[in-house]
A = this chain, B = another copy of it.
Amino acid sequence: MKRTIGIDMDGVLADIEDHILQSYAAETGIVLSRDEIKGKSEEELFPDREMVMKICNKAGFFRNLPLMEGAVETVKKLMEDYEIYIVSAAMEFPLSLFEKREWLAEHFPFIGWRNIIFCGDKSIIDTDYLIDDHCKNLDFCKGKPLMFTAFHNVEKDHHQRVNHWNEVPDLLKRLEEEQLENLAIA
């Protein structure tokens, strides 16, 4: 049986950062750059929670997110060796459910419905790896956490970091080799 990888959507498959900054500027007139927001938590950056909810609940917000560079090519490649599950915490935004499903159908048509999970917290998701940008998910996952770099996690260092999708295949290969070595030693 293939080993399993859970993959988050926002901030991992979808490049939500720029999109949310643009929407925030349009709503509030406050223009923030990617560099300015580095190292800040989402709560520090957007203390007005209602505004974030307004932005994220707007029709089309999740449907029109741009792809993260290299995501499609790498996921396709990983599917040769792994069972890939898309695991998105979509339940907070009920309107996003259909849009996220449509987004996946457009950009990742090779991922079937059996391998898509829209959830709340991810603590009951059991995959061998979880690629996610949020420590609130990675800290409690059952498999090996891989932290995809995002503005809010650049100062965190308690998980294996991934900066770009093109790093993922080699990283997984190395981790698998290390696990085999550890098994041999044990």
Contact = CB atoms under 8 A, between A and B. Distances in A.
A109 interface: no
A54 B139 CA distance: 42
A91 B116 contact: yes
Contact of A118 (B4, B97, B102): B97
Interface residues of A, number: 28
B117 A124 contact: yes
A90 B117 CA distance: 9
A126 B142 contact: yes
Nearest to A90: B118
B116 A117 contact: no
Contact of A95 (B4, B98, B105, B124): B98
Nearest to A101: B94
Contacts of A127: 124
B119 A118 contact: yes
A115 interface: yes
A92 interface: yes
Interface in A85-143: 85, 90-92, 94-95, 97-98, 101-102, 105, 112-121, 124-127, 142
